A and B are shown apart, each in its own frame.
Chain A
Amino acid sequence: MNNNIFINIIRFVLLILTQVLIFNNLNFMGFINPMVYVIFFYWYPIKGNRALFMIIAFLLGFIIDIFSDTLALNAIASLTVAYARPVLMRFCFGVNYEFQNFSFKNTTKIQRLTLLGLLVLIHHLIFFSLEILSIAHILLILKKVLATGTATLILCTLFSSLFSPKSE
């Protein structure tokens, strides 16, 4: 259990650093900056305190906001993803999710990919709609969500297979 908390703290710090020092400066094709820190919400233990999870998510987003001077955009997107995660998990894994001994091991690859995709989609939709905040630019919002979302999803899939946690 202690080990688990330790791993999550390390993850928290490392994801913030990689996000602000590497991925925020990527500017692939001029505007694509993948937000890989979304994978934190995928990796976070399933059976944790939900309120604590939301507070951690808010802090994670808020710290990234301070670094990138986009005050509270990342915070609200992360917070919403954290709040919605149980619902999304039930949607992706069905009734299995309710069982005590549920873990990522007894799910299929497609199910996990769907969960990750939904997390990324919700996060990016909220982030870019609030960043631009104008109905007139809806096409720009959709373009950014799709392009950045795809990049994030590809990188997160790579990350999750590279650093798959053995404890789960």
Chain B
Amino acid sequence: MQRIINFILRNRNAFLYSFLALISLVMTVRSHSYHQSKFFNSSKWLSGSIYGTGADISSYFGLREENRRLLEENMELRRILFNSTIDSVQPMDSTMMDFAVLSAKLVKNSFSSPRNYLTINKGKKDGVKQDMGVITTKGILGIVENVSNNYATVQSVLNSKSNINAKIKNTEYFGSLIWEGDDYTIAQLVDIPRLVPLVVGDTIVTGGMSSIFPENIPIGTIKKYDLNASRSFYNIDVELFNDMANIKNVYLIENKNREQIKELEATTTNE
């Protein structure tokens, strides 16, 4: 016994190293395949508020650009409004609507790692929930992953774990939008069957199969495409509309029917 204790004491640094290394290795490997850790992420109050303060300071430098962008979006929305033929007297009862929208500001952006997470300055207090869709004025951005009281983390589309239902605009051919991790301006659309006629420059939008995003939110345009190894499906490179390196304000979308859809799906698979 004495010798064992002596042995451990003599090699205590090696033991300490292996112990701590094992902990971090387990966490690293988990982060490759499972969801982001619930306890250690940047939405917690300390990291969140430090990022919030940093963003408060740096946001002053982009105000002019951000104003211009919002003005452009307003212009676009007004154009649609004035030209719409639908009767303007619509039911404005919010309980009847399928989607609720919130706005938030990005306090931490990231696009150079293989698994990118963003942090926004809205949390549980503002009604943010897990699995809300996140978009910008130009297109899709990601899905809310972890929520704390005042902040939330978003799994970006630039994340090797991301998988979003997408389709070619004005058709019903849908596939999955993934990211292979090398270029932050380009995502990949897979599982589009070979018989679909494709043209470089076609627009890709979100599909209706997901219970997170509404249909027809812009994603990007086809940059190039070729057949995959089995030669029956296309691998399509999609150039994203969003400049992922320069994002300030985002919108959060909540699908109010998501609970029902999930419940229904769960009961269907059980039987």
Contacts and interface: CB of A to CB of B under 8 A. Distances in A.
Interface of A: 17, 20-21, 24-25, 27, 30-33, 50-51, 54-55, 58, 61-62, 65-73, 75-76, 79-80, 83, 130-133, 140
A20 B40 contact: no
Contact of B113 (A51, A70, A76): A70
Interface residues of B, number: 41
B42 A58 contact: no
A50 B13 contact: yes
Given A27-B111, A130-B28, 15 more contacts: A21-B51, A32-B112, A51-B13, A66-B40, A66-B41, A66-B44, A66-B47, A67-B50, A67-B108, A69-B36, A71-B27, A72-B28, A73-B24, A80-B21, A132-B181
A67 B119 CA distance: 10
A131 B23 contact: no
A83 B152 CA distance: 35
Interface string B157-199: 0000000000000000000000001101000000000000000
Contacts of B12: 51
Interface of B: 12-13, 16-17, 20-21, 23-32, 36-37, 40-42, 44, 47, 50-51, 54, 108-115, 117, 119, 153, 181-182, 184, 245
Contact of A54 (B17, B25, B31, B42): B17
30 contacts: A21-B50, A21-B54, A25-B109, A32-B112, A33-B112, A50-B13, A55-B16, A55-B20, A58-B24, A61-B24, A65-B40, A66-B44, A66-B47, A68-B42, A69-B36, A69-B41, A70-B31, A70-B115, A71-B27, A71-B30, A71-B40, A72-B25, A72-B26, A75-B20, A75-B27, A76-B21, A76-B28, A79-B21, A83-B17, A130-B25
A32 to B, nearest CB: 8
B28 A27 contact: no
B42 A24 contact: no
A72 B47 contact: no
A114 B113 CA distance: 28
B43 to A, nearest CB: 9
A16 to B, nearest CB: 9
